[in-house]
Amino acid sequence: MRLAPVDYLILALYFVFVLSIGWIVKRKVATSEDFLTSGRSVPVWITSLAFIAANLGAQEVIGMCASGAKYGIMTAHFYWIGAVPAMLFVGVFMMPFYYGSRARSVPEYLKLRFDEKTRALNAVTFAVMTVFSSGISMYALGLLFELVLHWRFTSSVLLAAAIVLVYTFLGGLTSAIYSEVLQFFLIVLGFAPLSILAVMKAGGWSGIASRLPAVMTNTWKFTGHPSENPMGVEVFGLIAGLGFVLSFGYWCTDFLVVQRAMAADSMSAARRTPLIAAFPKMIMPFVVIVPGIAALALSHMAVGYSIPLKPGGGPDYDQTLTTLMAQIYPSGMLGLGLTALMASFMSGMAGNVTAFNTVWTYDLYQGHIRKHAPDAHYLWVGRATTVVGVGLSIATAYLATHFNNIMDFLQLVFGFVNAPLFATFLLGMFWKRATGHGAFTGLIAGTAAAAATHGLTLAEGKGGWLGTVLHTFPSTMAQNFWIAIFAWSTCFLVTLLVSLMSAPKAEAELHNLVYGLTKIPQEQVPWYKRPAPLAAIVIAALVILNVAFW
Amino acid sequence: MVGAILCVTGIAVDYRAPLESANVNLYCGASMLVFATVMLWLARRSRS
């Protein structure tokens, strides 16, 4: 792929914009809370778009397109089942506790609700995962631009990291949030035309459906048994594993996304953030997944496009998006598409670094190393941590060049940690009796159960490292869903049992932290600004989408 | 700004993609300019 001057111009324009965002926001940063939590001052439409953009990294964009080509419209389950219901839940039920507790981070909420050891466990695991995740973003960026544009890996990584460092050092979380909103618009404007043009070229949805097996254009029809669909999943695993545990475990507890809602300028805005975000989230499959399905249909049409093959044979689905862009976009739009990918990688890094900042500064540094320093000191620590975070991300990117299964490893760890965490939050927010000992033990037990499930089962050659294989799953996806189910269930039961055997906190200490002891404000606002009606509209739209693509 | 760049590119230079004969830059650029106009109108409306 060769870029024309107009492509470089668009890319340069993006760099200038994000650096300008950092420069403008810098003037508003006076305290550590301004830098690390945006001072809870961001308007709701910004936090809403940042909420989904924080999750919409380039690996997701490329990965979802690849999955669309490989699994068809069933991939939309990752959005319609695997994201939107959890987003509604966090907005309607959990945000009053997150925002109302005045906690500056998710681990800090755990400290207020439970105890310091539970906070420390979550803070450490989150900090480590965030830095690794940021590094993986950079690694994937370097690989992609080396493959597609023949840029040197080092140049891509260092250029992107330098720009991210500048604007996050200057403006902190607010810079990251506004750059994520920019990234969102770039993705929609950069890839929606690709989707439209590719579908038109393939003869519309009916043309696509006529050229592909029925399983590729139906979401639920072929989920009765794992052998019926290429994902190798069945309806219970899909709903319980993806739709409940993994989905809620991520969207309800991962500080990277929750932080965006917590930066909102009011309780009402914080609650509405994930609800408003659910609307574009429902539409995203048509932007990121449908191009992959259309690409597969075009491959069957002898129009001059086919999905590239791997050196050893078999389709290289990961190259679907970039090769489709190269065939359908002229120079100009091609530059916009690549800029959107670059923006996604960079925002992924910025989001992870700012989340890492907050957790390190408030939960680990202030919590354990230096507790009563002046605020200016924590602002300095936050800025220094930005530099360290970017440095660690670059180091991780290079580490990944030596261990190319590090992405799989990170996904696994996310699954091990997030699934039980949701059980902890569920019990913590809705059951007064849950205790710190229960929460801590439950998290450890849940993570251990996840590891044990992975070690005792096999899927596509992965797992089974405990020596005995008790079950073989048809796909790693099915394995991940069931790992999440076992992890969540174990954490839930152990937390319940240990809580009943240990002393709870006094109710006076649990105000604004748990259901029944939190006054949820009833604001006098129009119906379209209230959480319940918004959630009802989203649910109705979700049902329509699932039925339309049954 | 991107919309304007794409419109100018679409008018001034005949870039075509291998599989697409339409002037994608011009159409997409024009759409972006419409989108930008709507956003600017919303911004002005929120300030007044």
Q: With a cut of 50, which residues of chain A have pLDDT below it?
A: none
Q: Does A330 touch chain B (CB under 8 A)?
A: yes
pLDDT recorded at residue A261: 93
Task: List the structure tokens of B2.
Answer: 């991107």
Q: List the one residue out of B38, B15, B37 whose CA is nearest residue B26.
A: B15
* Beta carbons of B28 and A304 less than 8 Å apart: no
- Residue A265 CA to residue A39 CA, distance in Å, equals 8
A409-431 residue pLDDT tens: 777 777 788 889 999 999 999 99
Asked if B25's CB is within 8 angstroms of A10's CB, the reply is: no
pLDDT-based confidence at B48, cuts 50/70/90?
A: confident
Q: What CA–CA distance (Å, rounded) separates A325 from A1?
A: 10
CA distance A340 to A336: 6
Structure-token pair, residue A464? 């089974």
Identify the burial level of A379 via C-beta atoms within 10 angstroms of its C-beta, where 0-12 means exposed, 13-18 middle and 19 or more buried. Answer: buried
Q: Which of A139, A196, A105 is nearest to A399 (CA)?
A: A139
Three-state SS sequence of A454-505: HHHEEECCEECCCCCCCEEECCHHHHHHHHHHHHHHHHHHHHHHHHHCCCCC
The rounded distance, in Å, linking the Cα atoms of A510 and A516 is 10
pLDDT at residue number A171: 92
Please tell me the pTM assigned to this model.
0.89
Cβ of A328 within 8 Å of Cβ of B6? The answer is no
Cβ-defined contact of A197 to B24 (cutoff 8 Å): yes
CA A337 to chain centre: 21
Please classify residue A113 by burial: count the beta carbons closer than 10 Å to its beta carbon, then call 0-12 exposed, 13-18 middle and 19+ buried: buried
Which pair of tokens denotes residue A17? Answer: 């914009």
For residue A298, the model assigns a pLDDT of: 93
With H, G, I as helix, E, B as strand and everything else as coil, classify residue A264: strand
Taking only the tens place, the pLDDT of each residue in A320-373 is 998 999 999 999 999 999 999 989 888 888 999 999 999 999 999 999 999 999
Residue A419 to residues A240, A450, A483, Cα–Cα distance (Å): 11, 9, 9
Rg (CA), chain B: 14
**Secondary structure of chain A: what % helix, strand, coil (to 5)?**
75, 0, 20
The whole-angstrom separation of Cα A511 and Cα A97 is 9
Q: Do B17 and A9 touch (CB under 8 A)?
A: no
Instruction: Tell me how far apart the alpha carbons of residues A118 and A362 are, in angstroms, rounded to a whole number.
Output: 15
DSSP state of A329: P
Distance CA A45, CA A132 (A): 29
Q: Token match 């072929």: residue?
A: A222
Is residue A383 within 8 Å of A119, Cβ to Cβ? no
Distance CA B10, CA B17 (A): 12
Please answer yes or no on whether B1 and A304 come within 8 Å at the CB atom: no
CB pairs under 8 A between A and B: 67
Q: Which chain B residues have a beta carbon less than 8 Å from that of A329?
A: 17, 20, 24
Task: Provide, as residue numbers in chain A, all residues whose Cβ is less than 8 Å from the Cβ of B17.
Answer: 326-330, 334
Contact assessment for residue A353 and residue A168, using Cβ atoms and an 8 Å cutoff: yes
Q: What's CA A98's distance to the chain center, in Å?
A: 18
Q: Cα dist. A461→A71, A310, A382, A411 in Å?
A: 20, 19, 43, 16
Q: Do the beta carbons of residue A401 and residue A140 sit within 8 Å?
A: no
Instruction: Quote the tokens at residue A60.
Output: 């997701």
Sorted by where each begins, the domain ranges of chain A are: 5-22+39-223+250-404+525-548, 407-519
pLDDT of residue A101: 87
Locate the chain A residue with the closest alpha carbon to B31. Answer: A189
Supply the DSSP symbol for A220.
S
- Contact residues on chain B for A12, CB-CB shorter than 8 A: none
According to DSSP H, which parts of A202-251 are helical?
Answer: 204-211, 235-236, 247-251
Give me the pLDDT at residue A51, please. Answer: 93
Question: pLDDT value at position A362?
Answer: 93
| Per-residue confidence (pLDDT) for residue A180, from 0 to 100 | 92
Question: How many CB atoms are located within 10 Å of the residue A201 CB?
Answer: 21
pLDDT at A277: 95
- Phi, psi angles (nearest 5°) of residue A211: -100, -15
The whole-angstrom separation of Cα A256 and Cα A298 is 37
Chain B partners within 8 Å of A303 (Cβ): 19
Pairwise CA distance, residues A479 & B47, whole Å: 52
What pLDDT score does A313 carry? Answer: 82
Q: Is the torsion defined by CA of A237, A243, A245, A246 positive or negative?
A: positive
- Which residues numbered 191-230 in A keep a CB inside 8 Å of some CB on B? 193, 197, 201
Structural class in CATH, domain A5-22+39-223+250-404+525-548? mainly alpha
